[in-house]
Amino acid sequence: MEPIVEMIGIRKEFPGIVANDDVNLQLLKGEIHAVLGENGAGKSTLMSILFGLYQPEAGRILVRGREVRIQNPNVANDLKIGMVHQHFKLVHNFTVTENIILGLEPMVGLGALDTKKAAARIREMSTRYGLNVDPDARIEEITVGMQQRVEILKMLYRNAEILIFDEPTSVLTPQEIHELMGILKGLVREGRSILLITHKLKEIKEVADRCTVLRRGRVVGTVTVADTTEARMAEMMVGRKVSFAVDKAPAKPGAVTLEIRNLSVMGNRKVLGLRDFSLEVRKGEIVGVAGVDGNGQAELVEALTGMRRAESGQVLLNGTDITADSVRQRIRKGIAHIPEDRHKHGLVLDYSLEDNMILELYDQPPFARRGLLDREAIRPYAEKILSDFDVRSGKGVDSNARDLSGGNQQKAIVGREIELDPEVLIAVQPTRGLDVGAIEYIHRRLVEQRDGGKAVLLVSLELDEIQNLSDRIAVLFRGERMGLLEASATDENEIGLLMAGVQGKGGAA
Partner 1 sequence: MKKPLIRIRDGRSVRLSLFAILLGLLAGAVLILTIGGNPFVSYWHMFRGGLMDLSRIGTALASATNLVLTGLSVAFAFRTGLFNIGAAGQMLAGAMTVTAIGLSIPVGALPRPFVLLLMVLAAGLAGALWGVVPGLLKAKFNVHEVVTCIMMNWIAYNLVSWLIPAYFASNLPSETPLIPKEHLLRTGWMASIFGDNEYINYGFFISLLMMVVVGFILNRTTLGYELKAVGFNRHAAEYAGIRVNRSMVLSMAVSGLLAGLAGATYYAGYANKLVVGTLPAQGFDGIAISLIGANTPTGVFLTALFFGILHTGKGFMNAMTDTPPEIADTIIATIVYFAATSILIERYGKVAAKWWKDRKGRKTPAGTAKGGAD
Q: Given the complex with partner 1, which of 95 and 393 has the nearer CB atom?
A: 393
Residue 336 beta carbon to partner 1: minimum distance, rounded to whole angstroms: 11
Q: Which stretch binds partner 1 (CB under 8 A): 149-157, 176-184, 370-378, 381-389?
A: 370-378
d(CA 252, CA 254) in angstroms, rounded, equals 7
Using CB under 8 A, which of 8, 17, 28, 75 touches partner 1? 75
Q: Is 127 a residue that touches partner 1 (CB under 8 A)?
A: no
Stretch that binds partner 1, among 65-73, 212-220, 430-438, 487-495 (CB under 8 A): 65-73
Task: Give Cα 292 distance to the centre of its chain.
Answer: 11
**Angstrom distance (rounded) from CA 242 to CA 295:** 32
Among 70, 258, 385, 386, binds partner 1 (CB under 8 A): 70
Judged by CB under 8 A, the residue of 14, 24, 74, 452 near partner 1 is 74
306 binds partner 1 (CB under 8 A): yes
What kind and span of H or E run contains 505?
none
Site string for partner 1, 203-242 (x = CB under 8 A): ----------------------------------------
| Omega prior to 250 cis, within 30 of 0 | no
Which is closer to partner 1, CB of 41 or CB of 413? 413
Quick check: 72 binds partner 1 (CB under 8 A)?
yes
CB hemisphere CA count around 396 (13 angstroms): 7
Q: Which of 99, 305, 429, 431 binds partner 1 (CB under 8 A)?
A: 305
Distance (Å, whole) CA 84 – CA 306: 35
Q: How far is CA 141 from CA 271, 274, 342, 357, in A?
A: 13, 18, 28, 41
Stretch that binds partner 1, among 103-111, 175-183, 323-331, 465-473 (CB under 8 A): 323-331
Neighbour tally for 93: CB within 10 Å: 9
Q: Of these, 78, 141, 247, 321, which contacts partner 1 (CB under 8 A)?
A: 78
Closest alpha carbon to 253 in 471, 475, 486, 509:
471
Nearer to partner 1, 28 or 359 (CB): 359
Task: List binders of partner 1 among 79-108 (CB under 8 A).
Answer: 79
Strand partners, 11: 58
How far apart CA 479 and CA 299 sit, in angstroms, is 8
Binding segment for partner 1 among 124-132, 356-364, 418-426, 447-455 (CB under 8 A)?
Answer: 356-364
- Give the DSSP letter string of 97-117: HHHHHTTS--EETTTEE-HHH
| DSSP characters over 361-395 | TTTSTTTEETTEE-HHHHHHHHHHHHHHTT---TT
Contact flag: residue 266 with partner 1 (CB under 8 A): no
In whole angstroms, what is the distance from residue 265 CA to residue 186 CA?
A: 41
Q: How many residues bind partner 1 (CB under 8 A)?
A: 42
By CB under 8 A, residue 375 contacts partner 1: yes
Could you give the string, one character per residue 325-354, with x where binding to partner 1 holds by CB under 8 A and - elsewhere?
Answer: -xxxxxx-----x-x----xxxxxxxx---
Rounded to a whole number of angstroms, the minimum distance from the CB of residue 15 to partner 1 is 11
| Dist. CA 335–CA 135, nearest whole Å | 45
Closest to 205 measured CA to CA, from 222, 187, 184, 228: 228
- Residues in touch with partner 1 (CB under 8 A): 60, 66-72, 74-75, 78-79, 305-307, 326-331, 337, 339, 344-351, 355, 359-360, 362-363, 368, 371-373, 375, 379
